[in-house]
Structure 1
């Protein structure tokens, strides 16, 4: 039936995106390249600071080492998760294939699920080698965080998909003139998300805004795990609750942008 959610149609879209990724070694290289550059750049900076004696407070060097590398890796998971979602969508616009997809039996929820699965696949390709290199170069094992890492991952990915879904809706309605949001919007979150420093570092009036963002709860939770050796489930639960609300709002916004694009006739005007 047309109205039934189809796993086969989701699988077909995932297979399509997998073929596109597999057919281009430059895309695979790009997925791995940027996380690797980030990790090495910041990791070697941290190593230099420790050796230079800039972090010689009792336990300060070890804590800074772990929290900095950990924050870099988790930030890259967040960024690549959002961009993996958005890139698969925007490639349909670049190739002028989006109208064909929207006129096919594929339903919007199935399209969204296929984009989510593809973002996970892209993330796996790009981040797993970098986490292994972090062990090799800096002795930091993100996987050793165990269940805490799993919780961090879930909260970050739901936020990434929320942003990806919102940006995709904006692109549907306003076309490729808004494509800079794919690359830029998440970087607006970075200074407010307490990625490399505690929320208390921010000006007092910015702190409530920071606590409205799910990544803040993850990075505060990361520091609690590495410095205090405590998993702050209360923080992660709050972050996930905000995630659910944001993803629901993003899904509603995507649906409305899609209807608006159909009424305005902008779906046939996509492309380079």
Structure 2
């Protein structure tokens, strides 16, 4: 039985070739590597000292035990996961190479899988040192969360990939003039994801909107775990169900926008 038959038409060697391309691009530029390390480190130091100050001056936050630092790390997983996906995609747009890739045997699903793998690689480069800084400077052991961390991570990374696939489709169809949405869309979701405060802080009508976003379930679950020492399995299952819908929808939208770009010649004329 051939390799393609086993994998349903997806060729691992083509995915591996794309991953190697992005890996070599990453290693060839020290500013790219520095940026992956700089911003997570800056965030954990800034918010960590704020957490220390609040813990020393407010009884609730002293009991909350690291909810701010935990929220910062989880937010960075969400944001950096999407950004790592989108940056690798934009490398092709900036190099005017996307049209060449789409005319090659490379399939859209293989392209997206390669981008997902690079998202994980970029994320690991930035977040692992971030968690070590949190442990060294503020004695917050992120990995001490244990098995619930797997549920938190999976839900956040699936959301980040869904957003990354969706915005990549918009850029494919509209060219680099739509590039700004890559940097801004996740921040637009930030207030509704309730990263640093519970959902109950929001106006009642806005809480319904917040509960349509998978990250909201993750951050509520994180607070329940760190404050009440309860793992909310129900929240993680609901988040996973919403993520499944978003992931399938984002992939369908990407394919539709890719077909539209091919019809209108946008793959070749990918400028502003």
Q: Does the TM-score normalized on the shorter chain lie above 0.5?
A: yes
Unpaired segments ≥5 residues, structure 1: none
Please tell me whether residue 137 in structure 1 is matched to residue 137 in structure 2: yes
Deviations 1:84-134 (A, max 9, x none): 000000110001111111111100000000000000000000100010010
Native 8 Å contact 2:159 2:215 kept in 1: yes
Which residue of structure 2 aligns with residue 69 of structure 1?
69
Per the TM alignment, residue 32 of structure 1 is displaced from its structure 2 partner at its CA by 1.0
TM, length-normalised to structure 1: 0.96
Q: Which residue of structure 1 aligns with residue 239 of structure 2?
A: 239
In the comparison of the two structures, how many residue pairs are matched?
267
Which of the residues 41, 56, 60 maps onto 2:59?
56
What does residue range 63-212 of structure 1 map to in structure 2 within 5 Å? 63=64, 65-212=65-212
Q: Which runs of 5+ in 2 are unaligned?
A: none
Cα distance between partner residues in 1 of 2:156 and 2:43 = 18
Cα distance between partner residues in 1 of 2:248 and 2:141: 33
Contact kept? 1:221, 1:232, Cα under 8 Å: yes
**1:31 equivalent in alignment to 2:36:** yes
Post-superposition offset of 1:271: 4.3
Superposed CA RMSD: 1.3
| C-alpha separation in 1, matches of 2:123 and 2:130 | 11
The residue number in structure 2 matching 1:216 is 216
Alignment partners' CA distance in 2, 1:14 and 1:269: 25
**Preserved CA contact (<8 Å) 2:78 2:160:** yes
